[in-house]
Amino acid sequence: MSRVPLPCAKKSQIQMKNPPSEKKINAPEMAGDRFFDGIDVEFIIHELKDPISVIETALRMLLERREKYGPLTAKQEKTLVRALRSSKKARGLMADLLEVGRADAGCLQCCRFNALAAIDQALAEALETTEPHLWETLGTTGEKRLGAATLDDHGIAVVCSASASDLELLQDENKFRQIVGNLIKNALQYRRRRLDITLGCYDGRIVLEVADDGPGVEKENHELIFKCYTRVNACSLSSRSSHGLGLAGARVMARRLGGDITLKAGRSTGATFCLSLPMVLELPLAP
């Protein structure tokens, strides 16, 4: 049985009986039905923590147990170190998200800790993820305090007043470190050469200033810089932007801890972020 070829219709001759109707959806109509509105962010973060931990553990084993897995070339070692650093950065971002979410929900964990030691740890973690080349040059492990003289050679200074040198806080340590770390990372990102961290204690409150010599921020933009996903015009040719958490998340946590973060005015270049917190966290009374 032979097949009879069907005549090919021209494109112009083909007509759909019921063409699909197109409806343009305005933004207000979509506002109440956004995909991310129904997502449990905390659940997703917990789901992501395990695979990232597995990746990080595998990378560490390749780097630290060469007698079992074999030697590495210089290029292979460099690649693995970069991958490990990126996995740490991803883990840090997830920790930021969790702490901001918990702070926003009023979940606070109060404990006693040394303020300067917590700042040292936040600085070490910020250097490792933000300026890895400097971190490798310093040759620190993050477990010991960074040497003041060595840091000063790279334009970083940590200055503590006499009243705050052995200061202990009764605060949420994790959130305190996250706040300080975000301020330091921001300064490292925009500095030209200098990063100055100053810790003081006044009238039952600690005041931490993180200053850089990067592009300044016009006074009218001092509040805008704390908004998520914003970019503001700076006083110089460069600009400062807020990416996701960063300064916005730091301010949310600071305010939940009874304090605040402000941007000090008065300089045409550079920025000084000021964190003020009560030394003792006042937890709300249970109903």
CA triplet 158, 161, 166: central angle to 5 degrees?
A: 90
Exposed e or buried b for every residue in 236-266, given b needs 16+ CB within 10 A?
eeeebebeebbbbbbbbbbebbbbebebeee
Q: What is the pLDDT of residue 211?
A: 94
Range scoring the smallest mean pLDDT among 12-21, 78-87, 145-154: 12-21
Q: What is the pLDDT of residue 159?
A: 92
Per the prediction, the chain carries an average pLDDT of 78
Report the Cα 278 to chain-centroid distance in Å: 23
Of residues 26 and 179, the one with the higher pLDDT is 179
For the segment 105-129, the average pLDDT, to the nearest whole number, is 89
What pLDDT digit, counting tens, does each position of 178-189 carry? 999 999 998 998
pLDDT higher than threshold 60 for residue 14: no
Of residues 184 and 11, the one with the higher pLDDT is 184
Task: Report residue 12's pLDDT band, with 50, 70 and 90 as the boundaries.
Answer: very low
Range scoring the smallest mean pLDDT among 17-31, 100-114, 195-209: 17-31
pLDDT higher than threshold 50 for residue 267: yes
Q: What is the pLDDT of residue 162?
A: 86
Q: What backbone phi and psi angles, to 5 degrees, belong to 20?
A: -65, 135
What pLDDT digit, counting tens, does each position of 230-253 carry? 555 544 434 555 444 678 889 989
Q: What is the pLDDT of residue 146?
A: 62
Task: Report residue 272's pLDDT band, with 50, 70 and 90 as the boundaries.
Answer: very high
pLDDT higher than threshold 60 for residue 32: no
Tell me the three state secondary structure of residue 15.
coil
Q: What is the pLDDT of residue 6?
A: 44
